[in-house]
Structure 1
């Protein structure tokens, strides 16, 4: 039985016979106890589902047609509230899962797995480690949303006093230390890698535990949680100070050490940055296309060596249809299986580097002021842009990740059913009346861009309305993410170094751009930027936003860096979709004036929770 089947939506408790005590039944046999363990996995956020991943639509990386009712998108539009909270992971409604219930199930498992008779101690210890990991992971998810949270070390016993039933929130550092402690305990008994891949892929390993630990410590060391003056003096009802008043440099040192430990283990197990190998591909492709496939497949090729943790409980299926524009194949314009309605704003398209590996606002050879001028695709750009097609200048001379990650008017869309160097080069056409334009109120891009990065190039556009999607487990963790976390933490801990440059440059090399040192020295208006801690911080953050684009990371990163108020108060813009000709279409149009205030850095605790639990108070500003 494969893990996706084990992780079905049906809860374990549904199968208990009448008149049998639930807990006694669950732990009387190895087989039933294992099913209870898999129930603990069921509370994992459905990150491969666009609407189930708050990192997708809660921020500014995507925008949607106005008829869309995504819960996370209501947060992006400024409609979050305390009465009927969106993406409520505290109680489990409006798009969120009840993670405190998930923690409770993990505690039940930990309390009872010791009495399962027919299993070895080695296996029992592994299961305990898995439950500990999940318990820590759920605490972390709550922490990064709500800040200081109650730490549920054990379940409340039956017959507990009212005083015991409602736990208080605990300080940031206490929350982090508890999460890390549980991850360390789990790592001791988790397997380094999955040996029985047929039945166990997706279950947690030591590599996953150490990488999540690294992520937790980087988040904890970041400005949102490390001496944040906005929350200085914030206390619980009992007077407990919930945020430390001063910034701690040691937190970055601790985070860098954890990142390096995770990297060392992952690389020893064979994890490496993915590169597409043409010798195993039956069709000839250009070097340009090979680089793009290396970038895309790092996300979409299931179980490739870069993936540290793939979420088999959340396959990337519907999100691919939402990321694919309609009408890629002109002979199948009626294809209604491609929804094509998740749209990166224009500022995301501008975020990617020039072909020299620096921001287009910094590249001294790039005509940034003329980026909206019109140009026609030439033979030299044939793998990026449709030859002879008129598009905007900012679509020229960009880094390979720009073309691998984004679909846009006039841009080549590699794959989707035909595979040879000419026949497969479908391109997007999205002006009014063209195949990818607004054919109805919901199935189109409101900005004129699509996140091509998320779409498996082996998907097939068939006859009529068929679109065959090659799904993949959502990559919660991949090695590039870990490299960037280490580069960030090490720079904050000790400043620029050869080690920091090394990990940045490994990612840039795979992306087909020059090293940090070469790019800034030769092309930037600020050639010494990479030599200072502050300058390198800005470079690392930009590199991270580009490399991890569309993977549900930007929203969390902008928050922890305390840059959300800067970025998410910029207007959401796109092209003028109502126009048929290029000069009119390529005019920047404001779609929505997004707002973000200091209070939005922490999500509100649902009002009903505050009415029940008098030991906790609301987050500042709510």
Structure 2
């Protein structure tokens, strides 16, 4: 803190390598100071841009954001852990540590460094001589929303955090610098206040020039406010008895008693954010017509909902510039470069991540209810059968043997999961031409989509579960050199419209004594796009327990499953299981799949006895793992209270 400018410039040099060469703006034969930086518009803009760049790795990059790999959605073996390195996979295995935490944000060169830079911007932006006041107001609003976003990310990782309304003088005493963690309610109010101030001065995303579309807009700030209030109302932060006696170093209680009204505030904030998004022209991605069947067109809508090539996505509310390349190289199936599969070969494919059996079974049946609830589902899960319904043309091979689990499932299953003996409708290289084909996913050992060796090998890329992940892979690009062809600049989507629909549905359900249309309507908008019946009709006509849809507890389970399905593999489940406080039941179980070394249907499907354990090193320690540890060195220096269990 005493060498603030040096710390800022050093931090920027670390974070901005290859991102604009911020330090190159130092005047010739002179020394750059904060005052000279905030003389000219160009330099002030570099400062603002630098603050946004510091957020990106923590929320958008597949390998850096532990939420993508730290839950139970994705299965990876030792090979993948060695290739990817420590991070989300290690957190899922229960290997998080306080000495050098994975996914650290609480650090002077991470979130708190960015917050210091933002505060300096607020102090100095008025000094820039070649800017209009209206532009200064806009940039200030963009950074108010960004500061709120850093607080939000810190809160859901660490719970109560240290607030920095303004920077402490570098000449202040050490005692003044050692600030205590603030109660959750104060943290939430600080985020909400910043969002409210930002919303007033921010334009809609559609009104922003292309150079500013990855900075916060009116609708993204409103969404951030709504999501903050949803977290504040959730069991982890609202009446958490496990943390009831957790105090800061001043003896102040950090977690509040339960307050039902927080659910109402969350619901109203979500509804208001939806109105703002609708005024901004946001709509669910829907209406694709270029595929030969209705089901394939619905699947294409679902595929496109999570992608933003050239930053184009009608339901994306906030996205950032993501330069990490995303997950494609890790989920793209690994094909040999010679013989069979040569037309699918990509030299950058690692193909070592698979979908867990839990997620495979999470998706609904074609009737829009869970497998265990569907009284008319025509098949047994783990036996073979034949599909004859022509609506599954180019999705399933008709009248051929296929596992029951892969039949008569909802469109989101087929859009997100590549299952054995299903068809993957996509662009394919065919000699020197390209055309759409429905390629069969043959996943037994030795087959095109299966492992090519006869053992589990830590030195070889292998899909351990037997299920491929389709999300993030664009079906209009061939697998042949996919990572090179998928070269359109794309946004890393942080919030999209279904976040708000589900937040509204969940919050109203928790606030009301019994669900009504405030619960059902937003949920049904998502289900309509997904190509399934509305929730009341589906449960009334097809569920074994039709009354479940009429109760608060029943709808709670339904809404939570809808979160898991709609945002499969997008990193939401990691945080939701924590805020719902259901993580111990979900994350302490092994991960299941099929015997990928099996070369026949009988051996691959474990003699039809059900799935097998494919990864057993899973651990969620209560209460320790509800929050990340603050790095031990930071605790010693700042004397702030460490999280429980660390």
> TM over 0.5, yes or no?
yes
What is the CA–CA distance in structure 2 between the aligned matches of 1:88 and 1:155, rounded to whole Å?
A: 21
Say if 1:332 and 1:546 are closer, same or farther in 2 by CA, change over 3 A: same
Quote the offset at 1:141 in angstroms.
0.3
Is the contact between residue 345 and residue 479 of structure 2 (CA under 8 Å) also seen in structure 1? no
* Partner residue, 2:636: 611
After TM superposition, list the pairs within 5 Å mapping 1:137-152 onto structure 2.
137-152=149-164
What is the CA–CA distance in structure 2 between the aligned matches of 1:144 and 1:572, rounded to whole Å?
A: 25
* Partner residue, 2:372: 361
Question: Unmatched 5+ residue regions in structure 2?
Answer: 1-15
* Partner residue, 2:7: none
* Range moving further from structure 2, 8-17 or 301-310: 8-17
Is the contact between residue 343 and residue 428 of structure 2 (CA under 8 Å) also seen in structure 1? no
Say if 1:27 and 1:464 are closer, same or farther in 2 by CA, change over 3 A: closer
Is 2:439 aligned against 1:426? yes
Is 2:88 aligned against 1:88? no
Which of the numbers 303, 319, 326 marks the counterpart of 2:327?
319
**1:145-197 deviation per Cα after TM superposition (whole angstroms, max 9, x unaligned):** 01001011111212110011221100111111111111111111111234344
Is 2:451 aligned against 1:438? yes
What is the CA–CA distance in structure 2 between the aligned matches of 1:448 and 1:407, rounded to whole Å?
A: 9
* Partner residue, 1:518: 537
After TM superposition, list the pairs within 5 Å mapping 1:280-291 onto structure 2.
281=290, 284-291=291-298
After TM superposition, list the pairs within 5 Å mapping 1:335-484 onto structure 2.
335-366=346-377, 370-376=380-386, 378=388, 380=390, 381-387=392-398, 390-417=401-428, 423-439=436-452, 441-462=459-480, 468-470=486-488, 472-484=490-502
Is 2:193 aligned against 1:193? no
* Partner residue, 1:3: none
Quote the offset at 1:591 in angstroms.
2.1
Say if 1:66 and 1:340 are closer, same or farther in 2 by CA, change over 3 A: same
SS in 1 for 2:56: coil
* Range moving further from structure 2, 503-512 or 10-19: 10-19
Say if 1:272 and 1:463 are closer, same or farther in 2 by CA, change over 3 A: closer
Is the contact between residue 220 and residue 226 of structure 1 (CA under 8 Å) also seen in structure 2? yes
**TM-score, scaled relative to structure 2:** 0.89
* Partner residue, 2:11: none
Question: Unmatched 5+ residue regions in structure 1?
Answer: 1-5
What is the CA–CA distance in structure 2 between the aligned matches of 1:479 and 1:248, rounded to whole Å?
A: 27
Is the contact between residue 16 and residue 25 of structure 1 (CA under 8 Å) also seen in structure 2? no
What is the CA–CA distance in structure 1 between the aligned matches of 2:539 and 2:510, rounded to whole Å?
A: 20
Is the contact between residue 344 and residue 481 of structure 2 (CA under 8 Å) also seen in structure 1? no
SS in 2 for 1:52: coil
Which of the numbers 591, 595, 620 marks the counterpart of 2:619?
595
Is the contact between residue 458 and residue 470 of structure 1 (CA under 8 Å) also seen in structure 2? no
* Partner residue, 1:121: 133
Which of the numbers 523, 527, 546 marks the counterpart of 2:546?
527
SS in 2 for 1:179: helix
Is 2:644 aligned against 1:620? yes
**1:329-354 deviation per Cα after TM superposition (whole angstroms, max 9, x unaligned):** 83425433332222221011000011
Quote the offset at 1:291 in angstroms.
0.5
Quote the offset at 1:70 in angstroms.
3.9
SS in 2 for 1:63: strand
Say if 1:365 and 1:316 are closer, same or farther in 2 by CA, change over 3 A: farther
Say if 1:89 and 1:438 are closer, same or farther in 2 by CA, change over 3 A: farther
**TM-score, scaled relative to structure 1:** 0.92
Say if 1:239 and 1:37 are closer, same or farther in 2 by CA, change over 3 A: same
* Partner residue, 1:306: 315
What is the CA–CA distance in structure 1 between the aligned matches of 2:637 and 2:324, rounded to whole Å?
A: 38
Quote the offset at 1:443 in angstroms.
2.9
SS in 2 for 1:355: coil
What is the CA–CA distance in structure 2 between the aligned matches of 1:327 and 1:620, rounded to whole Å?
A: 46
What is the CA–CA distance in structure 1 between the aligned matches of 2:460 and 2:33, rounded to whole Å?
A: 45
What is the CA–CA distance in structure 2 between the aligned matches of 1:335 and 1:243, rounded to whole Å?
A: 50
Is the contact between residue 138 and residue 201 of structure 2 (CA under 8 Å) also seen in structure 1? yes
* Partner residue, 2:598: 579
Is the contact between residue 338 and residue 467 of structure 1 (CA under 8 Å) also seen in structure 2? no
SS in 2 for 1:100: helix
Say if 1:532 and 1:141 are closer, same or farther in 2 by CA, change over 3 A: same
Quote the offset at 1:203 in angstroms.
1.7
Quote the offset at 1:24 in angstroms.
1.9
Say if 1:379 and 1:493 are closer, same or farther in 2 by CA, change over 3 A: closer
Is the contact between residue 344 and residue 480 of structure 2 (CA under 8 Å) also seen in structure 1? no
After TM superposition, list the pairs within 5 Å mapping 1:28-47 onto structure 2.
28-46=39-57, 47=59
Which of the numbers 555, 559, 563 marks the counterpart of 1:540?
559
Number of aligned positions between the proteins: 605
Is the contact between residue 328 and residue 473 of structure 2 (CA under 8 Å) also seen in structure 1? yes
**1:487-512 deviation per Cα after TM superposition (whole angstroms, max 9, x unaligned):** 11111122411132111111111111
After TM superposition, list the pairs within 5 Å mapping 1:477-496 onto structure 2.
477-494=495-512, 495-496=514-515
Is the contact between residue 347 and residue 481 of structure 2 (CA under 8 Å) also seen in structure 1? no
Is the contact between residue 118 and residue 147 of structure 2 (CA under 8 Å) also seen in structure 1? yes
What is the CA–CA distance in structure 2 between the aligned matches of 1:493 and 1:404, rounded to whole Å?
A: 34
Quote the offset at 1:584 in angstroms.
0.8
**1:465-492 deviation per Cα after TM superposition (whole angstroms, max 9, x unaligned):** 9654555212111111111111111111
Is the contact between residue 308 and residue 492 of structure 2 (CA under 8 Å) also seen in structure 1? no
